[in-house]
Structure 1
């Protein structure tokens, strides 16, 4: 049975764990599942993922963050303001040291009820470049934040579904066209995207200004992508050769860069599934891969730390 979602900020929802989870081993489950939806995704489509997570990890709190088209092109300050409620939740779960009471003023009620009694265990699941852009922004927000002093970082894992891509004019126009339903707005959006893309290309060639999407790809390959991550944090790429929005070659190129950086990488390439539709095309394979990466997260962290200890 799915748990209800509570709206805690614009486009940000929280789902509490099931009341009766006595038959599940809570210590082996994530305490938080952080889900970044793809751009323009309807809530019912995203709920299909939270419902599966309710089944396989009923002890976890799910935080769902929707991605609207405007997020990708807005100012960094606007993006950070949008994600502030998610930061407050992570503070409440002990994922990092709070900056102070001021950070919780807007959403004190629902977040205070979730204060943890155990070390947090965080699973991050990002969809497409829209979700990846939000994850990258969250990484920038938390870059200077400290985590509570513990002997070892908490188990964590990151799943990148149908991302990250490198963009491109036609792909970007298609992505925004799919996210905007109104035909008039769709045409206006397409014209704006074309103008903005030309501006980005010229700014890069004339002034060396890196496009946001390239900055995003670089950020996603930082081993401290989030403050509680480490080089032993496993990452899973879920992608398809049939994806017309994000090329499988771009995903594999990013995965290879991560590998060369010493990160723990695993890839699951589907053959015929469309963009962000791998779970629908082959649900058993998809969710088995998700469960496996979390199992690896709980074991590989201990193995990696032990190996480092022996090398000292």
Structure 2
């Protein structure tokens, strides 16, 4: 199977838990897309939010080189990864279940961008019923300082200081040239994730969890993105944790975070009733 080529984890709830929460309806399938450098043991803590609610969860984090190198230089490696992730739904025969995304930072949002594009254009996935997306600490655009902070944190302490500085300097120069100075030209070949989803967003509801204290993703980038989606008719809500660092809202406020995610999921599932079903399956064609 194509899905065997990527390193993912899938968890199925026991039948009793699903029945208790969803009472005979198909339980949601939650696809969690981790931040760059995210370890699965960390992502599994987020998936438990949904497993305890009787949801199927699929966890995946894109490799560092793909996020920081391939995307920065315009190589669309994540496009094939997006295809394989959606094929997992068919491999496990859950393609008729409601699909829900939980996305972390730009690393997860870069992959989400290609999933959205597939749902726009690929007939194979036209029957998938996507009901909503939680977006944690994303998306950001053109923030070289934030990208350097993210890369520095991802490299960790094991790399020697000289090598660390060389890698960070090369990354900064490359990204500045390709994604800032030359971007007015290069965007016609390869738009960044921020502009691609903003220009042609999906129709399902988005719920952004962010913080004004985030030093990797600027809160004004998130707020501008949300406003852009609202103008195009996409239902968008948000929660500002104010003081928590980048992708640390759950760690700092576990009860509040869990409540926000579960409440939004329940709201999206409620929208499936009646005429809401067809509406959620569509994507904008603007």
**Shift in Å, 1:17:** 2.5
SS in structure 2 at match of 1:51 = helix
SS in structure 2 at match of 1:183 = coil
Q: Cα distance 1:213–1:157, how it changes in 2: closer, same or farther (>3 A)? A: farther
Indicate the residue corresponding to 1:13 in structure 2.
9
Indicate the residue corresponding to 1:183 in structure 2.
159
1 CA distance for matches of 2:237 and 2:229?
A: 10
User: Are residue 291 (structure 1) and residue 262 (structure 2) matched?
Assistant: yes
**Shift in Å, 1:223:** 6.4
Equivalent pairs, count: 268
Indicate the residue corresponding to 1:270 in structure 2.
241
User: Are residue 35 (structure 1) and residue 32 (structure 2) matched?
Assistant: yes
Indicate the residue corresponding to 2:230 in structure 1.
259
Contact 2:143/2:217, CA 8 A, preserved across alignment: no
Indicate the residue corresponding to 1:121 in structure 2.
98
Indicate the residue corresponding to 1:51 in structure 2.
48
TM-score, structure 2 normalization? 0.81
Aligned counterpart in structure 1 of residue 173 of structure 2, from 195, 199, 211: 195
Contact 1:158/1:234, CA 8 A, preserved across alignment: yes
TM-score, structure 1 normalization? 0.75
CA RMSD in angstroms, aligned pairs only: 3.0
- Name stretches of at least 5 consecutive residues in structure 1 with no aligned partner: 1-6, 93-110, 226-230
Deviation per residue, 1:95-129 (Å, 9 max, x gap): xxxxxxxxxxxxxxxx3xx224x832011010001
Of 39-48 and 64-73, the range deviating more from structure 2: 64-73
Contact 1:234/1:296, CA 8 A, preserved across alignment: no
1 CA distance for matches of 2:262 and 2:26?
A: 10
Deviation per residue, 1:12-52 (Å, 9 max, x gap): 22222225434332556643100000110122111111122
Q: Cα distance 1:305–1:44, how it changes in 2: closer, same or farther (>3 A)? A: closer
Q: Cα distance 1:211–1:131, how it changes in 2: closer, same or farther (>3 A)? A: farther
User: Are residue 137 (structure 1) and residue 114 (structure 2) matched?
Assistant: yes
Indicate the residue corresponding to 2:215 in structure 1.
244
Indicate the residue corresponding to 1:170 in structure 2.
145
Contact 2:29/2:57, CA 8 A, preserved across alignment: yes
